[in-house]
Amino acid sequence: MIVYKYIAEILFYAFMILTFMGGFMAVRSKMLMHAVLGLAVSLFGVAGLYFHLGSPFLAMMQILIYVGAVCIMIVLGVMLGNTPDQLAVKNFSGRNTLLALLACATGFFTLFVAIGQTKFVPAAERIGDMSIRFVGENLLFKYCLAFELISVVLLTAIIGAIILARGGREEVAK
C-alpha cells in the first residue's frame, strides 16, 4: 500500500508538470499551431488531475469537450489566423509589463493559498465502479443536463466554424 501512495504522488506531480508545461508552451509560442498543441497538452494534464482526484467522469468530459474542442479551435485558427511565416510581435510597454506581473502574482498567491488550505484525499479511497453500465447510467440520469448543455456548446462552435469557413478569408478582411 505504501508503494501505491508513492506512485499516486508521482502521478499527481507528473500531471501537474504536464499541465504547467503545456500552459507555458501555449502562452510562449509564436506560432498558432504550437500554441494550440500546448493548450491540448495542458488540458490533458488537467484531465489527468481530475482522474487522480477521483472524478473519472469529469476527466472523460474534460478530454471529450475541451481537448475535442481544441480541434475546432485549430480549424478556426488556420482559417482565420496568420500564416506560419507571420510571427507574433511583442508589444510590451512598461505599464503592460507591470500589470501583467501584478496579475500573475495575484493569481499565484490566490492559488498558493487555496492549495495550502485544501486537504487532498487519494483517489483510491473514492473511485467507485467504472463499468460501462455505471458510466452510462450516470450520463443518462445524474449528469444529463450538463451533458446536453455541453453538446449544445459544441454544436454552436461547429456551426460557427462552418459559417466562417464558407465566407472565406477575403470577406472577413474587408
pLDDT tens, position by position, 56-88: 888 888 888 888 776 676 757 666 665 555 555
CB atoms within 10 A of CB 130: 10
Cell 473519472, located at residue: 56
Given a cut of 80, whether residue 89 has pLDDT beyond it is no
**From the CA atom positions of the chain, what is the Rg in Å?**
20
Q: Using a pLDDT cut of 90, give the percent of the chain over it.
A: 16
Residue 59 corresponds to which cell in the numbers above? 476527466
Q: Using a pLDDT cut of 70, give the percent of the chain over it.
A: 74
Residue 164 corresponds to which cell in the numbers above? 466562417
pLDDT at residue 16, rounded to an integer: 93
> What's the angle, vertex CA 101, arms to CA 98 and CA 102, rounded to 5?
85
What residue ranges define each of the domains in the chain, with the CATH number in brackets?
2-84+101-127 (1.20.120.1200)
pLDDT tens across 109-153, in order? 998 998 888 887 665 555 566 677 777 777 778 877 877 787 788
Selection from 17, 34, 16, 33 nearest residue 25 by Cα: 34
Alpha carbon distance 28, 30 (integer Å): 7
| 33 vs 123, residue with greater confidence | 33
Largest CA distance in the chain: 65
Residue 84 corresponds to which cell in the numbers above? 506560419
The pTM score is: 0.52
Given a cut of 50, whether residue 172 has pLDDT beyond it is no
| 48 vs 150, residue with greater confidence | 48
Residues 6+ apart with CB under 8 A from 71: none
